[in-house]
Amino acid sequence: MDMATPTGPWFPGVANAVSRALLLGWILIQVARASGTADVTVPYNLVWKSTNFKTILEWEPKPVNHVYIVQISHRLRNWKNKCYFTTDTECDLTDEIVKDVKQTYLARVLVMPANATSYAGEHMYTKSPEFTPYLDTNLGQPTIQSFEQVGTKLNVTVQDARTLVKMNGTFLSLRDVFGEDLSYTLYYWKASSTGKKAVKSNTNEFLIDVDKGENYCFSVQAVIPSRKVNQKSPESPIECSGHGKSVFKDKFFIIGAVVFVAIIFIATLSLCLYKCKKARAKQNSKNSPFSVA
């Protein structure tokens, strides 16, 4: 006998029950996923902080129940993992960007559970702005290596800052990296006034005309004119001609005074000891039984 196709009012009811069960299962899965990520905040405010190619990526917020992995890449390259499973909100990426400071880099910060042991799979992340070290790193404060004022000539030499960029195992200076793109501006003024003058140089040397018999104060600033932003460094600490000599004289007089006081003290002490010794010897001589009455 042929099996009859099931009919009757009960069959649609079974189909509806299965559909409801599937829908409920899907909803439960979504709720479970949401509950697992409800307290996870996607990283935000990603900022590059870089001076003389020392480069750190910073972001927010501080993690609560999760950790971060930072990845960096430049165009046409795969992502490279840095700062594994960190609870910090910064990552030093200097060793990557100094490999090619003219390349453009992109970083991203991945979020994963605090107990994660692998970064495989899909994770929430936020990308950083693009960063080109040669164009974007800030110029650090320069220093004045030496200066000398003779007559009407003031000679100032600027010390090039060292960077973390390497070539053949040697750290390069700013001049080594930027070459002719780097220039310096010297600001100078009479020590007795506030009127500033400025002169530029494509080298590290300045030789300027000044008034004879006047002391001058000055500072220097590194500049990359070809940049659209971050063109100038902070100004160096101020130096003044004549101060070195006066400080030396002051130190000389202080040292001389200390030495003089020490000599007087030693001489006085020696004289007192001599007189005490002589007086004691005289007293002993009077008390001797062999002394003549």
Percent above pLDDT 70 for the chain: 72
pLDDT at position 3, please? Answer: 44
**Please, where in the chain does CATH 2.60.40.10 lie?**
44-136, 143-241
Residues 6+ apart with CB under 8 A from 161: 52, 140, 142, 143, 173, 174, 222
The CATH architecture assigned to 143-241 reads: Sandwich (2.60)
Give the class (CATH, top level) of 44-136.
mainly beta
The pLDDT score that the predictor gives to residue 37 is 46
Q: Per-residue confidence at 43, pLDDT binned at 50, 70, 90?
A: very high
pLDDT recorded at residue 110: 95
Residue 135 has pLDDT above 50, yes or no: yes
- Non-local (6+) Cβ contacts of 110 within 8 A are 68, 69, 70, 71, 119, 123, 124, 125
pLDDT in tens, 168-206: 989 999 999 999 999 999 999 999 887 899 999 999 999
**pLDDT for position 194:** 79
For the segment 48-101, what is each residue's pLDDT rounded down to a tens digit? 999 999 999 999 999 988 999 999 998 767 899 999 999 999 999 999 999 999
